[in-house]
């Protein structure tokens, strides 16, 4: 469930500023998602008009010729768990991600996962619409999907996004959940892969459902294989098969509990470090020492080190990430209109 909010607009133009300033500002703006690089001698500048609506960030961007890279080093700083739908309006783009090397033309639509590596080269001036939506609720394997111009799926999504952009100034806060659901369903409709997709989706839906159940019952000491099999009317084999790739259901429960502990340490309120014994008891560990050992095994750092680390460097949720990305626009000097 998202926190509803009315659409907010921010703009940033860096192409009217002196080259150095404009370029620095452009780089700073894009830092959370990509790193711009110069092509030839043209400065890397651009314009962004963005709307934040609930969990969606929609922007129209114009950019000078440049290459934008998202590599391992950048992702290590904390990737944004969201998908970006990139609609090419003007200019040509070359998209590379190690597996694909494709040219995008006006009308094409690219779906990219902001947690994955990629390089986009735009040798000419370009204009595009970027729509960022949280990854939750969408299929996992959409990174690098390209919907070709004039195809029904590309037309469908593009029409809807244009209609959405036109409606944004008038939309109410209470509509944002339904608007996001509509968009997620349309993405699933257009980027899906028929029956295979359907089967994958069913498994994923069930897995997500079980994971949500685990999160709700994280502090229940009876949480385990037996209670999950009973609740979901699954056999043990079916349950193990569902979570085989994650190392088994027990591993998933353990990780979720450790993630919660990690969260408590990163966002500790009131300045005092949470008591290890209390955390251990809440999460079903035999003792504080057992928790310490499991924590170190999973995160490769001790709980003490996590407590003293810079919390800002840890990955955020998609909502926090998109909001933070949007608020950066407002932090920069105002754009002349």
Binding residues for another protein, rule: CB under 8 A, are 152-153, 155-156, 159-160, 163-164, 166-167, 170-172, 174-175, 178-179, 181-183, 185-186, 188-190, 192, 194-195, 197-199, 201-202, 205, 233
Q: Which two tokens mark 79?
A: 């990737």
Query: What is the torsional sign of CA 252, 253, 254, 260?
Result: positive
The nearer residue to another protein, 192 or 288, going by C-beta atoms, is 192
Nearer to another protein, 28 or 178 (CB): 178
Q: Nearer Cβ to another protein, position 211 or 292?
A: 211
* Beta carbon of residue 161, minimum distance to another protein (angstroms, whole number): 10
Q: Least distance (Å) from another protein to the CB of residue 141?
A: 15
Residue nearer to another protein on the CB measure, 85 or 280: 85
**Does residue 76 contact residue 118 with C-beta atoms inside 8 Å?**
no
> Which residues are CB-contacts of 202 (< 8 A; sequence separation ≥ 6)?
none
CA distance 40 to 336: 28
Q: CB 101 → another protein: shortest distance, Å?
A: 27
Token duo for residue 308: 């003293």
> Whose Cβ is closer to another protein: residue 69's or residue 186's?
186
Q: Which is nearer to another protein, 26 or 243 (CB)?
A: 243
Q: Which residues contact 281 (CB under 8 A, 6 or more apart)?
A: none
Nearer to another protein, 14 or 179 (CB): 179
Element (H, E) at 87: strand 82-90
CA angle 312, 22, 110 (to 5 degrees): 70
What contacts 331, CB < 8 A, 6 or more positions away? none
Residues 242, 210: contact at Cβ < 8 Å? yes
- Smallest separation (angstroms) from another protein to the CB of 40: 39
CB of 203 to another protein, least distance (A): 9
For 102, other C-beta atoms within 10 Å of its C-beta total: 15
Pairwise CA distance, residues 173 & 51, whole Å: 13
> How far out from the chain centre does Cα 174 lie?
23
Least Å from the CB of residue 82 to another protein:
19
Eight-state DSSP code of residue 143: T
State the minimum distance, in angstroms, from the CB of residue 332 to another protein.
Answer: 30
């Amino acid at each position: 469930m998202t926190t509803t909010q009315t659409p907010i607009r921010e703009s940033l133009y860096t192409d009217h500023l002196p080259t150095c300033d404009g370029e620095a500002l452009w780089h700073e703006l894009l830092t959370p998602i990509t790193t711009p690089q110069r092509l030839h001698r043209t400065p890397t500048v651009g314009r962004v008009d963005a709307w934040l609506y609930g969990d969606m960030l929609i922007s129209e961007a114009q950019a000078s010729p440049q290459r934008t890279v998202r590599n391992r080093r950048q992702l290590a700083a904390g990737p944004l768990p969201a998908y970006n739908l990139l609609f090419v309006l003007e200019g040509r783009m070359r998209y590379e991600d190690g597996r694909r090397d494709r040219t995008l033309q006006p009308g094409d639509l690219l779906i990219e996962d902001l947690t994955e590596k990629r390089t986009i080269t735009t040798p000419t001036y370009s204009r595009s619409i970027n729509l960022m939506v949280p990854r939750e609720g969408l299929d996992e394997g959409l990174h690098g999907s390209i919907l070709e111009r004039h195809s029904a799926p590309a037309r469908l999504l593009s029409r809807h996004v244009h209609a959405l952009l036109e409606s944004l100034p008038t939309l109410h806060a209470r509509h944002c959940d339904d608007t996001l659901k509509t968009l997620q369903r349309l993405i699933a409709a257009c980027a899906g892969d028929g029956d295979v997709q359907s089967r994958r989706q069913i498994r994923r839906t069930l897995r997500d459902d079980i994971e949500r159940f685990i999160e709700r019952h994280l502090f229940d000491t009876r949480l385990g294989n037996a209670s999950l099999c009973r609740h979901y009317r699954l056999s043990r084999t079916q349950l193990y098969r569902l979570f085989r790739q994650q190392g088994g259901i027990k591993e998933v429960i353990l990780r979720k509990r450790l993630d919660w502990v990690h969260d408590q340490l990163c966002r500790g309120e009131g300045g005092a470090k949470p008591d290890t014994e209390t955390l251990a008891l809440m999460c079903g560990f035999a003792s504080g020492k057992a928790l310490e050992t499991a924590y170190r095994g999973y995160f490769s750092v001790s709980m003490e080190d996590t407590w003293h680390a810079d919390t800002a460097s840890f990955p955020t949720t998609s909502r926090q990430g998109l909001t933070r990305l949007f608020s950066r626009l407002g932090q920069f000097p105002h754009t002349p209109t």
